[in-house]
Structure 1
Amino acid sequence: CGVPAISPSLQYSERIINGQNAVSGSWPWQVSLQTRTGSHFCGGSLINNYWVVTAAHCEFNPYSHVVVLGEYDRSSSSEAVQVKTVVKAVTHPNWDAYNLNNDITLLKLSSPAQLGSRVAPVCLAPANLALPSNLQCVTTGWGRPCGFANALAVRLQQVTLPLVSQSQCMQYWGNKITSSMLCAGGVGASSCQGDSGGPLVYKNGNVWTLIGIVSWGNSNCNIRTPAVYTRVSQFRNWID
């Protein structure tokens, strides 16, 4: 897990507001959650050939939604994508839609993903992983390019942003921040473009590890306010 066959290209500049186009295929665990008519509404991450992790607030419905693997350019009809139906969506039993706490859902694909250079799983953070603040992370998604238009991005976007400590994050968000949340950004780059349910990863050696799930943030995507992610290490035992 966590080692893309196609290497991502990253500029670690804290000035990226709208993100940048990813290298096609370089985030092979990124999935697109779509309606059956092909409208993208959330992201997710492939964690093995049968399971995808996403945010509970995406409200994935197995009857009307599908998981699309191996996508990069949403306008292209020539990509070899895999469209999968889902047998079951398992939302965390303590999901709190009002406070957006425990914002995590697992999706079981009805048939296994065909793994290859463009479709491969990400590694999961171990339970209770301690992460330093200012650790550089990357979030990816097709979300709306920050703040301006409501249109979604056509090509997969990536943004590099630093982790923010719990105490620093609480200066912005107060007691909305719980131990099952992780904050990143707020230094002139934002993951507002990174879609809900999508990944927040960091590179450990040459392996990318999933530490966060895009959860919530500032509605107008303020680049000075940290965005909030579900803290994957807190849920590792539940996921397993």
Structure 2
Amino acid sequence: MMRSLDSFPFPFSSSSSSFTYSFYELCYYAAGVAGNLFAFVLFLSPIPTYKRIIRNKSTEQFSGLPYVYSLLNCLICMWYGLPCVSYGVILVATVNSIGAAFQLVYVSLFIIYADTTRKVKMCGLLIFVVCVFALIIYISLELLDHATRQIFVGYLSIISLISMFASPLSIINLVIKTKSVEFMPFYLSLATFLMSVSFFAYGMLLHDFFIYVAFIRIPTPLFSSKSRILNF
């Protein structure tokens, strides 16, 4: 469903309205596509880590927590982007459906190569994520109308994003102790920042509060700065 001209907070003349609308349509699609591309790079970034895990048949000191948070976040944001919840933001649904598939693979591989204690913990977290997402779907479809549904899922997406991007705090001590960013790569933070800028612009151009608020990544530059400092 496309946004009408009335959704933009400035006047359109009859002679320029079509051109202006096409320009803004192009801008928000370009921002959304850029966000999808940067997100795809972000989803690929753990591959070197998992090559090492598979080669050594051990998860070593790597944490599986960020991948669990990412899975939940992708599922919730995918749900928000679907037409049954929000109109006109399908690019949010597409990128997060791909992201959910990647995160599920990463979590599964982590479980396979983790020790017994961590296997149990990760399996429990995975079951928890599935149950939470199922509950969100049930509440959204059965108990809420469309307008309330968008607000409900929108706020959940913001909360899940905050949780996901706070998860690196669990390995900050390890990074400081080892004086190595191996467990918190700089390029992971960079890809996250670029994706956030793109989707922030996408949300602003669509006047979607839940998108542009969710993609304000204040912690990311801080993590990136810490990574650069520890590299010296």
- TM-score under structure 1 length normalisation: 0.25
> By percentage of residues, which structure has more strand?
1
Higher helix proportion: 2
Task: Select the structure of larger CA radius of gyration.
Answer: 2
Taking structure 2 as the reference length, the TM-score comes to: 0.25
